[in-house]
Amino acid sequence: MTTLSADLDQQAVNLIRGFAMDGPLAAKSGHQGTAMALAPLAHVLYSRVMKFDPADPQWADRDRMILSAGHASILQYSMLYLSGCGLELDDLRAFRQWDSATPGHPEAGHTAGVEVTTGPLGQGFANAVGMAIAERILADRFGAGTIDHRTYVIAGDGCLMEGVSHEAASLAGHLKLGKLTAVYDDNHITIDGATELTYDDDVPARFRSYGWHVLDLGEIANDLDALEAAFHHAEQVTDRPSLLVLRSHIGFPSPDHTDDHEAHGLAFAADDVTRTKAVMGIPDEPFWAPAEIVDAYRSHARQRGSASRSAWTARNTDVVDSDVWSACWNSTGIEGWADGLPSYEPGEMVATRNAINAAFNATVESIPGLVAGSADLTGNTGTKLAGQTAQSATDPGGRQVYYGVREHGMGAAMVGMALHGGVLPVGGTFFVFVDYMRPPVRLAALSNAKVCFVFTHDSVGVGEDGPTHQPVEQLATIRAIPNLHVIRPADANETVAAWKDAVDHDGPTALVLSRQNIEVVTDGTAVAHGAGVVRGGGTPDIVLVATGSEVSLCVKASERLAAEGVSARVVSMPSWDRFDQQTTEFRRQVFPIGVPVLSVEAAVTLGWHKYADDAIGIDRFGASAPGGVVMAELGIDVDHVVERATALIAH
């Protein structure tokens, strides 16, 4: 394997530091200090340590590198440019500009070579844990000759202060993820000032208590050989994840802003850049990048990468042509995977959390990438896979992940698993606790990660647990997240259809399911279009539209209205976002022009004005009592629906 000369090593580090200053200066926005300090680390990772091929940034067996400290994005962009992964100098010049390939924080799917979308601190660290889990499962399934790579993550003080890092690090230590290496950039700086203002954690002791191997590197941030040796040392520790604690100096080698907390943001003026480049001995020229240095760097990266990938391709031709490989990496099932899905007869009483469990178990063998788990609520949320074992170091292929009471860490790990590829992660918790995992749900939507979030105990029907556990506003809040496919099925048949829809959907899906039994009143077909008629053809006097358990309630109300001579159509609307994608003609077939519409949902009424003329909902917190009592007391019952429908018709 060729190596770069010592002279080219230093020139490359200087280029990276120059880009780290020039990009933010040109954009008048950005974070140069961390990128400058970590230039040697990034150079070592990309040129000496990581296994990747610039010609194929999506190669399945590449090492993954996550910049959890995503504000230092110019560092990653500089490496992708130098390595020849698709970025060019004009992309660096367009840093943080409209429609550029170099946005303010790294975005998966937007820039080749960026694995996950980072920026909210700590998320990338937890994503890396998920990636390491995915690698382990796939290595067990396909063998070490096919899947054998590492996950690297660079995190700073902010990442490790955020609670999600505690959850994820604890999980990683418990699972003994030996192919995960995290670098802690211990620069003693936050935006407000020195970390001593707020932070006295003994980070090495903390991570040792989690079960990590910890290597305190000290002052080697500019020693390329020592950095390389540290990474190789971590590679030899296979029975636990490794944390490399690196004491760096933000803004180095600036004569003005080294170890200055202002270097965290846009501290460098043009004069500061000039003085720093003089210290480095490089021309005071924006985006200085001599062709001979860039060409040599790219040639080196291509040679290293192509050799590894070519050898891998030669021994894995049959594997990658298999149906199982294809199903895993497309996060779907093998042909005919949905044929065994269950169906339910009208009148059966089934909680939708139980129906989803039946759907999972009917497809667990035909969706080879399916990996399910929960935040200590596996049985409660229907995410227990029949016949599957717990993911662990002793059972690396286990497809049942026990996340513990760690919703935040679970959500972020699932996003990492999905973006790693090869698995379809499903994770469950009570719907009210979406508040504990909203950041990863949002980032799943932003990065189009194919994740299935299962949220059960979906309404005040939870009952005696009271308002702390009764979601009322959560449904409106997740519907507000762009690119998140939300389904609240009416019954067991719609739940089964929702699982098929989630597998077919290219992106994240949230399934919102009931604790209580619900009468089967649909055939499930409404899910495909977001809404559909359950009862009442022709031209009705009124349309009753509902989701979840309230659909069967509306069916009962329609029967009462029919006895009073009123023709009421019942519409199940499990997915607003899917319905909004339909043609105008279809939407008018469901909601005829001129016919009043009354919505019924055991949640806040926010948003229903788009579809309904009047809305029955719960614009307050719930109460502790049996679920049926709470529903009735808050107006989610047949009498109230009939009363409001009659009034709306008369209006």
Verify that 510 and 530 share a domain, yes or no: no
- Closest C-alpha among 645, 579, 650, 567 to residue 611: 579
State residue 1's pLDDT score.
Answer: 44
Last residue of one domain, picked from the residues 254, 279, 312: 312
* CATH at 508: 3.40.50.970
Q: Are 116 and 70 in contact (CB under 8 A)?
A: no
Last residue of one domain, picked from the residues 519, 550, 580: 519
Does the residue 331 lie in any domain? no
Verify that 45 and 124 share a domain, yes or no: yes
Q: What residue has token string 């660079």?
A: 154
Tokens coding 23: 């990009």
State residue 2's pLDDT score.
Answer: 58
Q: What residue has token string 């979030």?
A: 453
Verify that 606 and 499 share a domain, yes or no: no
Q: Which residues are catalytic?
A: 407
Does the residue 176 lie in any domain? yes
State residue 191's pLDDT score.
Answer: 87
Running DSSP on this structure, what letter comes out for residue 488? -
State residue 195's pLDDT score.
Answer: 87
The number of domains in the chain is 3
Residues 88-115: pLDDT tens digits? 999 999 999 999 999 999 999 999 999 9
Verify that 184 and 52 share a domain, yes or no: yes
Does the residue 157 lie in any domain? yes
Verify that 34 and 88 share a domain, yes or no: yes
Strand, helix or coil for residue 329: helix
Verify that 405 and 357 share a domain, yes or no: yes
Verify that 87 and 120 share a domain, yes or no: yes
For the beta carbon of residue 255, count every other beta carbon within 10 angstroms: 11
Residues with pLDDT less than 70, the chain: 1-2
Distance in angstroms (rounded) separating the CA atoms of residues 572 and 160: 45
* CATH at 606: 3.40.50.920
Does the residue 494 lie in any domain? yes
State residue 344's pLDDT score.
Answer: 98
Last residue of one domain, picked from the residues 501, 519, 537: 519
Does the residue 268 lie in any domain? yes
Phi-psi region of 287 (alpha: psi -120 to 50; beta: other; left: phi over 0): left
Planar angle of CA 434, 435, 438, nearest 5 degrees:
75
Does the residue 332 lie in any domain? no
Q: What residue has token string 């009735």?
A: 632
Does the residue 542 lie in any domain? yes
Tokens coding 53: 């091929």
For the beta carbon of residue 402, count every other beta carbon within 10 angstroms: 18
Does the residue 20 lie in any domain? yes
Running DSSP on this structure, what letter comes out for residue 47? I
Residues 1-20: pLDDT tens digits? 457 898 999 999 999 999 99
Q: What residue has token string 């907390």?
A: 261
Planar angle of CA 138, 139, 145, nearest 5 degrees:
130
- Domain housing 472: 337-519
- Closest C-alpha among 355, 363, 534 to residue 454: 355
pTM of the complete model: 0.97
Verify that 27 and 125 share a domain, yes or no: yes
Verify that 88 and 154 share a domain, yes or no: yes
Q: Which residues pair with 456 in a beta bridge?
A: 430
The DSSP annotation for 369-424 comes to TEEEEESS-TTTTT-PPTTPPBP-SSSTT--EEE--S-HHHHHHHHHHHHHH-S-E
- Closest C-alpha among 175, 65, 187 to residue 118: 65
Verify that 615 and 565 share a domain, yes or no: yes
Verify that 486 and 541 share a domain, yes or no: no
Verify that 162 and 60 share a domain, yes or no: yes
Q: Are strands 614-616 and 568-572 parallel, antiparallel or unpaired?
A: unpaired
Q: Which residues pair with 155 in a beta bridge?
A: 184
Residues 599-627: pLDDT tens digits? 999 999 999 999 999 999 999 999 999 99
Q: Are 472 and 317 in contact (CB under 8 A)?
A: no
